[in-house]
Amino acid sequence: MSIMSSSDGTAISVPRVRAEFDGRVIAPGDAGYDQARTVFYGGFDRRPAVIIRPADAAEVASVVTLARDSGVELAVRSGGHSTAGHSVSDGGIVLDLGDMKTLDIDVDGRTAWAQTGLTAGEYTTAAAAHGLATGFGDTASVGIGGITLGGGVGYLVRKHGLTIDDLLAAEVVTADGQLLRVDDQTHPDLFWAIRGGGGNFGVATRLKFRLHQLDQVVGGMLLLPATPEVIAGFIAAAEAAPEELSGIANVMPAPPMPMVPEQVHGELVVLAMLVYAGDLEAGERAVAPFRALAAPLADLVQPMPYPGIYPPEDEEFHPTAVGHTMFVDTIDERVAATILEYLQASDAPMRVAQLRVLGGAMARVPADATAFAHRRSKIMVNVAAFYQGPADRAVRQGWVEEFAAALQQDDQGAYVGFLGDDGPQRIHQAYPGSTWVRLAAVKARYDPTNLFRLNHNIPPASEGA
């Protein structure tokens, strides 16, 4: 059995690969191959020639060298949540970090070195045992490698900033097979680039994070009726709230969950997830304005350990969805009415406008301090719809694009962590102006042949962009 390079016909022997790696090697025909090539999102039926799960950073370097020398496409997978399917290759090598899960927590120093096969849930649960936390996203099964390199917007974004704002150092395997230790003093250009620049510059094998004291939060789901007044009021309350409070408002059809009254199943609601990272009594006061917007349809907001905010997940759930991520400056009742109008006009089985008020600690970091340039953006909006089959996908894509256009305001930016297969223009919107120029120069230095291209790609400066 061999992998054929598309560039020069070089063949790689799978038996030889098996012999060279202590980590797991999975090829077509092996038990578990279909499971190993499956990513979180459905709609991707890609068949890699080999999936390698390295045992350590040295083996990661060997996989990178193998891909570079053979010309075979390389996909790097941390948790497999890329909405564009970048976590799996069709015919190439998948470097799956999933077996690299070592976590070393320095409780007194409030730092942690974490291998990038860890999920956000695994890291968060382990840190919570010490009353500590680092902010990641809102889903437990997301890999910490992918979410960190993209920026990391989650439930602690207003209190502690993005995930990258708590990244102190990293170990990165670059295209030449070297393992580099990077921080703000050593390879500072690369350290700047990986904080928001995605997987363009190498494979992060370990990340060093700052930890924050966080024994308990006041958090959970608050379900409210969806009216223009409630939606606009939610945004206003979130903007006025203490920075300890971060939240997500999903305007969507009410799901048939046990805690949701049956009579509202399928009706448009505001399904909000709130987290107050601070004193419990102050948290109850901070949540009160949201509860006062309307009589809640369900109220599960309560004191809980921080990991409790992650909803349970079904490993067999692989949604097929199209979406659009963007930033807006304001959501008043007029904008809220537009949101409801578009959601009511669609018959997609699941459709959503997800609203996140930003600001706080995230906004106090200078725009050029990291490769995430959207520090002044006020509200993130993600519009999405599930689809069933190619024909339906086209219909839902059209609706998403029209919806996003109707919501567009002055902020033209995009968050790379939520980009799908949107094309070069949207990648430029994720990395505007001088950020793009600087990233392309770093790319030329550390990956001049664009080995790491199965991502939201930033070509090396010499190739132009």
Q: Which amino acid is at 103?
A: L
pLDDT of residue 244: 98
The DSSP H or E segment spanning 416 is none
Structure-token pair, residue 26? 């999975």
pLDDT at 9 over 90: no
Are 222 and 242 spatial neighbours (Cβ–Cβ below 8 Å)? Answer: no
Share the mean pLDDT of the chain.
Answer: 95
pLDDT at 391 over 50: yes
pLDDT at 5 over 50: no
pLDDT of residue 23: 84
Q: What average pLDDT does this structure show over 93-99?
A: 97
**Positive or negative: CA dihedral 272, 278, 281, 286:** negative
Do strands 379-386 and 351-357 pair parallel, antiparallel, or not at all (unpaired)? antiparallel
Neighbour count for residue 8 (Cβ, 10 Å)? 8
Q: What average pLDDT does this structure show over 423-436?
A: 96
Confidence of residue 299 (pLDDT cuts 50, 70, 90): very high
Confidence of residue 107 (pLDDT cuts 50, 70, 90): very high
Which pairs count as long-range contacts for 225-229, CB under 8 Å and 24+ apart, including other chains? 225/264, 225/269, 225/270, 225/294, 225/295, 225/297, 226/251, 226/267, 226/268, 226/269, 226/270, 226/340, 226/343, 227/294, 227/336, 227/340, 228/333, 228/334, 228/336, 228/337, 228/340, 229/293, 229/333, 229/336
**Positive or negative: CA dihedral 226, 228, 232, 233:** negative
Beta-bridged to residue 52, according to DSSP, are: 25, 95
Report the alpha-carbon distance of residue 129 to residue 134 in Å, rounded. Answer: 13
Beta-bridged to residue 380, according to DSSP, are: 327, 356
Confidence of residue 465 (pLDDT cuts 50, 70, 90): very low
Which pairs count as long-range contacts for 35-39, CB under 8 Å and 24+ apart, including other chains? 36/94, 36/96, 37/88, 37/94, 38/80, 38/318, 39/77, 39/80, 39/81, 39/82, 39/85, 39/87, 39/88, 39/318
Are 271 and 290 spatial neighbours (Cβ–Cβ below 8 Å)? Answer: no
Report the alpha-carbon distance of residue 170 to residue 199 in Å, rounded. Answer: 13
Report the alpha-carbon distance of residue 73 to residue 126 in Å, rounded. Answer: 35
Confidence of residue 13 (pLDDT cuts 50, 70, 90): confident
Scan for tokens 């509200």, then name that residue.
379
Structure-token pair, residue 137? 């996203």
- Of 76, 70, 72, nearest to 49 by C-alpha is 72
Do strands 74-77 and 93-96 pair parallel, antiparallel, or not at all (unpaired)? parallel
pLDDT of residue 1: 56
Share of the chain above pLDDT 90, in %: 91
Q: What is the Cβ-side half-sphere exposure of residue 135, based on CA atoms within 13 angstroms?
A: 26
**Positive or negative: CA dihedral 136, 141, 147, 152:** negative
pLDDT of residue 314: 85
pLDDT at 10 over 60: no
Burial of 315 (0-12, 13-18, 19+ CB in 10 A): exposed
Q: What average pLDDT does this structure show over 365-380?
A: 98
Q: What is the Cβ-side half-sphere exposure of residue 298, based on CA atoms within 13 angstroms?
A: 21
Look at the chain and count its residues.
465
Q: What angle do CA 139, 144, 148 make, to 5 degrees?
A: 105
Burial of 312 (0-12, 13-18, 19+ CB in 10 A): exposed
pLDDT at 436 over 70: yes
Classify residue 112 as left (phi > 0), alpha (psi -120 to 50) or beta: beta
